[in-house]
């Protein structure tokens, strides 16, 4: 198992000098999530092909701000951005479930932006998903909710980038 300290160094290297989400084949198209500021909790989806390895690396980052949260497959998470401390989490069993959804408590307007979820396993296996979060001031928008049909189809849609790896 990679130590958390060593992983922190690897994570910083991964996210600096051009080695960011774009180099992980993270497509420009992604899901958009619109919410009102102050909602109790929202989730930014990151569903990937279940590999089940504990040696997987996970990084959630915001474009132009840098990393938000990372982990090396252990149950230890590092929150990099002080604005998110105490407000973000990922299920500790994310790598077993194939779901690294970023849960944000009490979203703020300043949380708006383009988020990338980067999952890397040993070898060439890597996955990247983009999610745009739009947080509006309370009462300023009619924020649509995802319908049950879209929620049911979401795992299939997010697995499409993996289709070539699974063949």
User: What are the structural domain ranges in the chain?
Assistant: 4-166
- Can you say how many angstroms the Cα of residue 53 is from the centroid of all Cα atoms in its chain? 18
Mean pLDDT of all residues in the chain?
73
Residue 25: how many CB atoms within 10 A of its CB?
10
Residue 75: how many CB atoms within 10 A of its CB?
10
pLDDT band at 19 (very low <50, low <70, confident <90, very high): very low
Q: What length is written for the chain?
A: 167
Between 12-26, 121-135, 136-150, the lowest mean confidence (pLDDT) is in 12-26
DSSP state of 99: B
The 10s digit of each residue's pLDDT in 102-111 is 999 999 999 9
Q: Tell me what the mean pLDDT of segment 76-98 comes to.
A: 92
Q: Are 58 and 48 in contact (CB under 8 A)?
A: no
- What pLDDT score does 49 carry? 78
Q: Using CA atoms, how far apart are residues 54 and 70, in angstroms rounded to an integer?
A: 14
Give the homologous superfamily in CATH for domain 4-166.
Immunoglobulins (2.60.40.10)
- For residues 146 and 41, which has the higher predicted lDDT (pLDDT)? 41
């Amino acid at each position: 198992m990679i130590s958390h300290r060593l992983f922190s160094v690897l994570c910083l290297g991964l996210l600096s000098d051009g080695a960011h989400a774009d180099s992980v084949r993270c497509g420009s198209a992604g899901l958009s999530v619109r919410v009102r500021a102050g909602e109790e909790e929202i989730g930014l989806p990151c569903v990937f092909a279940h590999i089940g390895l504990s040696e997987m690396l996970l990084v959630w980052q915001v474009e132009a701000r840098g990393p938000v949260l990372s982990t090396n497959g252990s149950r230890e998470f590092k929150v990099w951005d002080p604005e998110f401390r105490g407000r973000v989490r990922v299920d500790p069993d994310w790598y077993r479930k194939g779901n690294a959804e970023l849960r944000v408590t009490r979203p703020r307007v300043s949380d708006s932006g383009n988020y990338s979820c980067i999952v890397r396993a040993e070898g060439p296996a890597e996955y990247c998903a983009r999610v745009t979060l739009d947080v509006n001031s309370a009462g300023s928008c009619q924020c649509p909710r995802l319908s049950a049909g879209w929620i049911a189809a979401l795992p299939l849609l997010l697995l499409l980038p993996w289709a070539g790896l699974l063949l």
